[in-house]
Amino acid sequence: MDPITLAIAGALGTGMATGVGERAGTAIATLAGRVRQRITGEPRTTEEMAEALEAEFARDPAFAKEIRSLWQQANHGNSFNGTAQNVVQITENSGNITFN
C-alpha cells in the first residue's frame, strides 16, 4: 500500500493532526471535506480508509492529485521517503544545529 495514502487515511481516522499551523489546518480541513464528499460509508480502520482512498484515486487521478497536494500543504512539504541511517525533520529553528 502506498505510504502517503496510508498516512492520509491514518490522519483522517484520528480526527486529523493536532497542533498544526493555520495554513496546515485549512489544508487538512479542505482535504477532509473533499474525502468525505467522495468516500461513502464509514471505514472503521485506517486500512479500510486507505483501501477506499486507493480505489477512488484509481477511479479519478485528478482527485488523487488534489488530495496529495493538500496533504503536502498540510505537512509543509516536510516528508522523507527512502532509506537512511538517521533522519532529522524540523519545522522551525532559531539557533544553530550541530551534528557530530
Inside any domain, residue 79: no
Inside any domain, residue 26: yes
C-alpha cell at 88: 532529522
Q: DSSP of 49-97, one letter per residue?
A: HHHHHHHHHHH-HHHHHHHHHHHHHHTTT----S--S-----S--SS--
Inside any domain, residue 70: yes
Domain that holds residue 33: 3-74
As for how many domains the chain has, the answer is 1
Q: For the purposes of burial, counting CB atoms within 10 Å of the CB of 26, is it exposed (0-12), middle (13-18) or buried (19 or more)?
A: middle
Inside any domain, residue 11: yes
Q: What is the pLDDT of residues 41-76, one digit of tens each?
A: 877 788 888 999 999 999 999 999 999 988 888 776
33: pLDDT strictly greater than 70: yes
What predicted TM-score, i.e. pTM, was given to this entire model?
Answer: 0.63
